[in-house]
Structure 1
Amino acid sequence: MTIDLDAVHDTLAPMAKTIRLVVSDIDGTLVGPDKQLSPATISAAQALQRAGIALCLVSSRSAPGVAPFVSALHLQTPYAALNGGMVLSAKGDILSSLTLSASACSAACDMLDVHHVDAWLFRGHDWLVRDPAAPYVGREQRAVKLTPKVVPDFKPYYDGVGKIMGSSSDYPLLERLEIEIGAMLKGEASVHRSSNYYLDITHRDANKGYAARALAKQLGIDMSEVACIGDMSNDVPMLKIAGLGIAMGNASEEIRAQAHVSTGRNDADGWAQAMQEYVLPRAPSPNASSRGETQNEEPSL
């Protein structure tokens, strides 16, 4: 079935003229392929602060994987981990947490095992794996600076799981499982790829749209004055509800259709470009109230 991407884009609400909060994805968005913050990104984040625009981070990463970026950018705002399944204060205190049912965990892990996709569990601040030598474990460990806990069997740990992650180099398989597991666990879980090689399974309400709303609520800001920026299918729930949705240049055409505008790639300071071109010009005026004065304009690519 062919999807009319122009029609999808045309359904978006008009872009906000005032932005008070940016909710940003991390991998593929805030950081480059080297998983580092570039000088341009750091400078743009500082410019947001000077302009009175708050910045909150949201990621499929576990909380310990997000915290270093909160610290590096000197943020004093809450952040969300596990695709929104966990919302934390800037100090790392858990403000809210959504977990999968034990039956959903069992069904999802069984499906991943059948297709030989390596599964990981995230419970609280712990990352559980069965095979520490599996292809993507070392990569993830280097990226998030977190050592996994090795367990022989996941069954004793199904209670309290915030996220199941499947990792595989078979990208088409993960794309198919995104649909199949999503259908199997409809009403129980949210299933999205956070990269070509990672499939995330979280509580049905644990998505980045939920996270963006929760973070905005913590700061007393209406979603109509929130800009969201991301690059993957798990970012779509927040792009669709943002006052200003921004897709990275490295995002697929399907993802870009869900955003008001597109920016440069994450390997070419696309995040900093987006802040300079789309967000900072929409900084609130000193005399504007936080609600009720936002005007909108038509989206354009």
Structure 2
Amino acid sequence: MGKFDGLLLVSDFDDTLYDFQHRVPPRNIEAIRYWIQEGGRFTVATGRAHRTFAPYAHLAPINAPVVLSNGSAIYDFQREEMLVQTLLDPRAPKDFAALMEAIPSLGLEAYHGEDIYVCRPNAVTDAHMKKVGTDYEERAIPDMPSPWTKAIVQQEYDELLKARSWLEEHCPGRYEAIFSNRYYLEITHRGCNKGGMVAQLLELLHIPRENLYCVGDNQNDIPMLELSATPFAPANCAQEVKDWGAQILCHCDDGVIGDIVERLDRKYS
């Protein structure tokens, strides 16, 4: 019996588990190994899709299914099996074509299976693809295959606020639109966010909510932080996360998972 038996620790990936130096700090790896050795379950909840997370899944010890695509999927990397997959409304291609006509500055990434299609790529698109280490196919929206698992609208923050308002006005009840940083507005099926999918993961693993701990750095992490027995965030987190009330720990470059495991080690000693 380990001191962390029955506990689940869920971390955001970019700028939380994975740092600004494009690595998982050794302190995080050591802390996760200790967590698992003592009976804990560890996993990731990321905005990345399967295609853009799979090459990085081996960087840290993970012993529970992963929440992908900002809460649209759960994938078990140990069994190489998709456990849950949601899709955008079938009207998504027409909806987003109308959105981009209304706000011409926007760029769009659309995810169909393992393929990524882009309409009007911009500097944000290029930076995103470089960061996640993949490529895409540029197509007009009517030429993109569907259904889509998720979409990302890209531009400066003020333009994305307009895009979110447009979707709320013209497509009420169809989409979950949440920021993963100031340049990405993540679009999933209504109700599908990190919080909802982490809740499903708890059910799959038969773990009570009071045994859940989450850490994340941005607005899209708040739905899962709301479920956490103690919500944690790295010092580099967005102001919205600080204002929301997460417990602020060290910078992601310094191994924030280490801070969490040290605190829980004292709590469950």
Change (3 A) 1:49 1:146: same
The match for 2:19 is: 32
Normalised TM-score (structure 1)? 0.79
The match for 1:3 is: none
Query: Match of 2:30, SS?
Result: helix
Say which of 98, 101, 104 aligns to 1:110: 98
Q: Aligned partners of 1:37, 1:233: CA distance in 2, in Å? A: 21
Give the superposition deviation at 1:100: 0.9
The match for 2:265 is: 280
Say which of 189, 197, 203 aligns to 2:183: 197
Change (3 A) 1:185 1:45: farther
The match for 1:296 is: none
Normalised TM-score (structure 2)? 0.87
Q: Aligned partners of 1:158, 1:248: CA distance in 2, in Å? A: 38
The match for 2:74 is: 87
Highest RCO, 1 vs 2 (Cα 8 Å, sep ≥ 6):
1
Does structure 1 residue 122 correspond to structure 2 residue 107? no
Say which of 160, 166, 172 aligns to 2:147: 160
Query: Match of 2:61, SS?
Result: coil
Say which of 215, 230, 233 aligns to 1:229: 215
Larger mean CA deviation between 262-271 and 200-209 belongs to 262-271
Give structure 1 stretches of 5+ with no counterpart. Answer: 1-16, 286-301
The count of aligned residue pairs is: 264
1:1-301 pair list within 5 angstroms: 20-90=7-77, 91-115=79-103, 116-131=105-120, 134-151=122-139, 153-157=140-144, 159-168=146-155, 170-277=156-263, 279-283=264-268
Q: Aligned partners of 2:165, 2:32: CA distance in 1, in Å? A: 36
TM-superposition CA deviations, 1:252-279 (whole Å, max 9, x none):
34323434522122233333323323x3
Give structure 2 stretches of 5+ with no counterpart. Answer: none
Q: Aligned partners of 1:144, 1:280: CA distance in 2, in Å? A: 33
Give the superposition deviation at 1:185: 3.3
Amino-acid identity (%): 21
The match for 1:295 is: none
The one-letter code of the counterpart of 1:255 is V
Q: Aligned partners of 1:211, 1:203: CA distance in 2, in Å? A: 12
The one-letter code of the counterpart of 1:280 is D
